[in-house]
Amino acid sequence: MTDGMTIGRVAKAADCNIQTIRYYEQIGLIPAPRRSSGNQRLYDASAVRRLAFIRHARELGFPLSAIRDLISLVDHPAQSCEAADRIATAQLHAVEGRIRRLTALRGELERMVEECKGGRVADCRVIEVLSDHSLCETPDHGAPALAE
């Protein structure tokens, strides 16, 4: 019943689309499953769990490289937590940085939207702010560098 699920069923169960599953297999993030006589992939329940893990971590912003590391921890649950601690701490710092930048950004966007009340574009606060960096008071000194 749980054994021998086709890729479509797994995709639904793990809320992950089919191409993405094949992509994860291709880059070695999940193991290649066994095949039916007609060469179709057949998964068991553990594949669904792993995919759900990956998708959830992705939704939370972990890059695949970090997920790869986390998976190798999951696969060796008896060892010390140290590596997981390191990964999580690094991830925590990254997340904190992103929150800081996004919070500054939210303030600016709120101000823009607030002041843009049906005027004409010529007076549009949104465009004014975007045009002049000095109008924006990022508490973050350097370049916000949205990326990452």
Residues found near DNA in the complex (CB under 7 A): 6-9, 11, 17-20, 22-23, 35-41, 58, 63-65, 147
Q: Rounded to the nearest 10 degrees, how much is the dihedral formed by the CA atoms of 100, 105, 110, 111?
A: 110
Binding partner selected for residue 9 from DNA, a second copy, none, CB under the kind-specific 5 to 8 Å limit: DNA
Residue 38 or 77 having the CB closest to DNA? 38
The answer to whether the beta carbons of residues 144 and 101 sit under 8 Å apart is yes
**∠ CA 138-139-141, rounded to 5°:** 85
The answer to whether the beta carbons of residues 78 and 39 sit under 8 Å apart is no
- Number of residues lying near a second copy (CB under 8 A): 62
Residue 120 burial (CB < 10 Å; 0-12/13-18/19+)? exposed
Binding partner selected for residue 40 from DNA, a second copy, none, CB under the kind-specific 5 to 8 Å limit: DNA
Which residues sit at the interface with a second copy, rule CB under 8 A? 15, 49, 52-53, 56-61, 70, 73-74, 76-82, 84-85, 87-89, 91-92, 95-96, 98-99, 101-103, 105-106, 108-110, 112-113, 116-124, 126-127, 130-131, 133, 136, 138, 143-146, 148
